[in-house]
Amino acid sequence: MTKKTAMLPLFQLEPGYISMFQGAILYFTFVISTVDIFVPSITAGVAGRDSWISALFTVAASMPVALIIVSLALRFPKRSFIEYSQIILGVWPGRLVGLLYLLLILIIGVTTTRELEEIMSMAFFVHTPKIIFGITGVSLSAYLVRSGLEVLGRVNGILLPVGVFLLIFVAVAVLPMADMSQYLPILEHGYGPPARGTIILLAYLMEGFILIYALPLIRQPDKTPQTYAAILPILGLAMVAGTVSIPVFGLGTTSRLLMPAIELAREIQIPGLPRSDILVMLGWYAGILVRIAVAHYLLALLAAQWAGLKSYKPLVLPLGVILVALSNLMFKDTIEVVHFIGNALVYTLLVFELLIPLIILVISWVRGVEERGA
């Protein structure tokens, strides 16, 4: 156990490691699996036809936020956030902050599970109880989590190319139907709408930051800044592609659609495949399964470390039950889910992505606390 935090280091709780590349593509999957489903309609309702500008602004705005998160993590490259928050803030304040981040990961996992239930029941299996999809998805997630980080990284490496191919296929296939004049006039109402859209997209672009709090399990942590610098613009381009529903359906229709990506897929005509949206479902389901598994894994691993347990695996099943239960207790219907995603969750994420890490980083600077050579 570490001297200052009296808890097991992560490498004793999880013997597996992943490469920085595997960590990067896990980040990509974690973000893209939901950011192009519900978020485009929410952004279109705020930023209007300038949603694509919001996506570009988001990439620029994400860089200083990433710099804060990465700078803090690299001051303690061999420690998790649960550990170094206690070293910087003191044991009890640090434990409290750690608990708040565990609650955030829980909320992300619960919200993602509910998104899975909503999309599967609304778009594909309207007569099946939603909770069935939650139980199925979290059960698969639990299997991946118990298998360890290496297995999760390898599974994502297999599934991600399929998802990316389907995303590109849909974007290219609908281009002949797109009326690019729908993007005009640019900045019709000034910079205000795209700036508000940027706030929403920034929260979800940086949502994968929770992966960095298990940095000790990622090889070559010194390459984290370059990795962020490469992956964030790629995600920005994916978000720009997500706005293609505006020139296809028009601004008014896009802002009213709950799931523009699935509606786009339904516009594609493939001989011999009457339901082309099945393609999107396959790619999206694989991505969201990995997303749930990442949240589930980090929640179990960091909760075990926070509680001083010797293994995270006993927590996997009970936390899975909690994810499914809360996904049905927190929200009454789809409208509540979309409202939560577009409002409360956005500002909650920004507090945990920007404000709290900045405060902790400043305190570590002032106190001169770091373990770069550890």
- pLDDT tens track, the chain, 374 positions: 444 446 788 888 988 899 999 999 999 999 998 887 788 888 999 999 999 999 999 999 999 999 999 999 999 999 999 999 999 999 999 999 999 999 999 999 999 999 999 888 887 788 899 999 999 999 999 999 999 999 999 999 999 998 888 888 888 888 888 899 999 899 989 999 999 999 999 999 999 888 988 889 999 888 999 998 899 999 999 898 889 999 999 988 888 888 887 888 778 777 666 666 776 777 788 899 999 999 999 999 999 999 999 999 999 999 999 999 999 999 998 889 989 999 999 999 999 999 999 999 999 999 999 886 54
Q: Please state, in angstroms and rounded to a whole number, the distance separating the CA atoms of residues 291 and 341.
A: 16
pLDDT at residue number 12: 84
- Whether 360 is in a domain gets the answer no
Domain count, the chain: 1
Give the three-state DSSP class for 18.
strand
pLDDT digit string (tens) for 138-166? 999 999 999 999 999 999 999 999 888 88
Q: Is residue 230 part of a domain?
A: yes
Q: Of 153, 148, 83, whose CA–CA distance to 300 is shortest?
A: 148
Q: Determine contact, residues 131/324, Cβ cutoff 8 Å.
A: yes
Token duo for residue 322? 């909690």
Q: Establish if 373 belongs to a structural domain.
A: no
- Confidence (pLDDT) at 255: 86
Q: Cis check for the bond before 185: say yes or no (omega within 30 of 0).
A: yes
Residue 188: inside a domain? yes
Domain of residue 300 covers 11-355
Q: Does residue 102 form part of some domain?
A: yes
Specify the DSSP element, H or E, that contains 64.
Answer: helix 51-74
Q: For 369, list phi and psi in degrees, rounded to 5.
A: -100, 120
pTM of the shown model: 0.93
Residues 6 or more apart in contact with residue 92 via CB below 8 angstroms: none
Output the pLDDT for position 190.
Answer: 93
Residue 22: inside a domain: yes
Q: What is the pLDDT of residue 272?
A: 65
pLDDT digits (tens, 9 = 90+) for 277-286: 776 777 788 8
| pLDDT at residue 79, as a whole number | 92
Task: Report in angstroms the alpha-carbon separations of 371 from 76, 278, 302, 351, 364.
Answer: 5, 49, 20, 25, 11
Q: Judge whether 43 lies within some domain.
A: yes
For residue 121, what is the domain's CATH number? 1.20.1740.10
- Please check whether residue 365 lies inside any domain of the structure: no
Q: What CA–CA distance (Å, rounded) separates 123 from 336?
A: 17
For 60, the token pair is 């620029």
